Amino acid sequence: MTHNEFENFGRTVVVGGGSGMGQAIADALLAAGSEVTIVGRSPERLADAVRELGDGKLNAIAADVAEEEQVARLFDTVGEVDHVISTAANLVGSYGPIRDFDFANGRGIVESKLIGSMLLAKHARIAPGGSLTFTSGIAAYRPSAGGAMVASVNAALEGLARALAVELGPIRVNVVSPGWVQTTAWDKVAWEDKAERLRAMADRLPAGRLGQPEDIAAAVLSLLRSQFITGTVLHVDGGHRLV
């Protein structure tokens, strides 16, 4: 196997590939010569991502992974692939004190990140030697007040990956757990002192900075490369769990 053959990850699906970490993962896979299908709920965002990524081996399909019919149709369309990666997470209403929590409004993260991952595992047609990779997050280890829903879903997702690694083997199932990563997701956070909080976290981390989407992409590709890692959580948090 030559170096170029090793680096080409074949046919891949990146759910959440229209922005942020998912788009960075898609970009890294395209650079490695892979055929990539990005998936997301917003056709407009996907179209923007296609323009930004600008590669002939890139496809885009609008689908909501919380809806089983749409997930099944997705893989009817793309057929067999080598790797599936998901960064999908609907964070609308997902934070709030548990005594006042609006479960009707805040269950989107459960449906997109946990149930959606289960549906991907159910319907994805992954070739032998391939993999399924999810993204959890630092909230499972360093939960904040008002973050019970997010912490619970992230922790549950890691448990799911371990169970699927046993059930789906030799297909490998792993999780990347990011820390604080600088993406447009922060634009939706309503902290008045957001810039100060981000700067304080960067100073606090052993790595001395916040994460970048490219850091997460590099971690995902490392898991795709290794044929002997499964049922594992790879922490990409700058040492956040240590401080």
- CATH label of the domain that carries residue 229: 3.40.50.720
The whole-number pLDDT of residue 58 equals 97
Under a CB-based contact definition with an 8 Å cutoff, are residues 222 and 85 in contact?
Answer: no
- Tell me the pLDDT band of 7, cut-offs 50, 70 and 90: low
Q: Give me the number of domains the chain comprises.
A: 1
Model confidence pLDDT, tens digit, residues 146-189: 999 999 999 999 999 999 999 999 999 999 999 999 987 777 66
Please provide the average confidence, as pLDDT, over all residues in the chain.
94
User: Out of 1-15, 53-67, 122-136, which region has the weakest mean confidence (pLDDT)?
Assistant: 1-15
Task: Evaluate if residue 87 carries a pLDDT over 60.
Answer: yes
Q: What is the model's pLDDT at position 54?
A: 85
pLDDT at position 194: 81
Question: Does 232 map to a domain?
Answer: yes
pLDDT above 70 covers a percentage of the chain that reads 95
- pLDDT score, position 225: 96
pTM, rounded to two decimals: 0.94
Is residue 105 in some structural domain? yes
Residue 97 is predicted with a pLDDT of 95
% of the chain residues with pLDDT over 90? 87
pLDDT digits (tens, 9 = 90+) for 196-219: 989 999 999 999 999 999 999 999
pLDDT for position 2: 36
d(CA 112, CA 70): 12
Tell me the residue range of the domain where 212 lies.
3-238
Q: Is the pLDDT of residue 5 over 80?
A: no
Query: Is residue 83 predicted with pLDDT exceeding 60?
Result: yes
Look at residue 95 and tell me whether its pLDDT is greater than 70.
Answer: yes
Q: Is 71 helix (H, G, I), strand (E, B) or coil?
A: helix
φ, ψ for residue 236 (rounded to 5)? -125, 70
Asked whether residue 127 is assigned to any structural domain, the reply reads yes
Residue 221 pLDDT greater than 90, yes or no: yes
Q: How far apart are the first and last CA of the chain?
A: 42
Contacts of 118 (CB under 8 A, 6+ apart): 160
Residue 77 host element (H or E): helix 68-78
| 20-29 mean pLDDT | 97
Q: Judge whether 216 lies within some domain.
A: yes
Can you give the pLDDT at residue 190? Answer: 63
- For residue 243, tell me if it sits in a domain: no
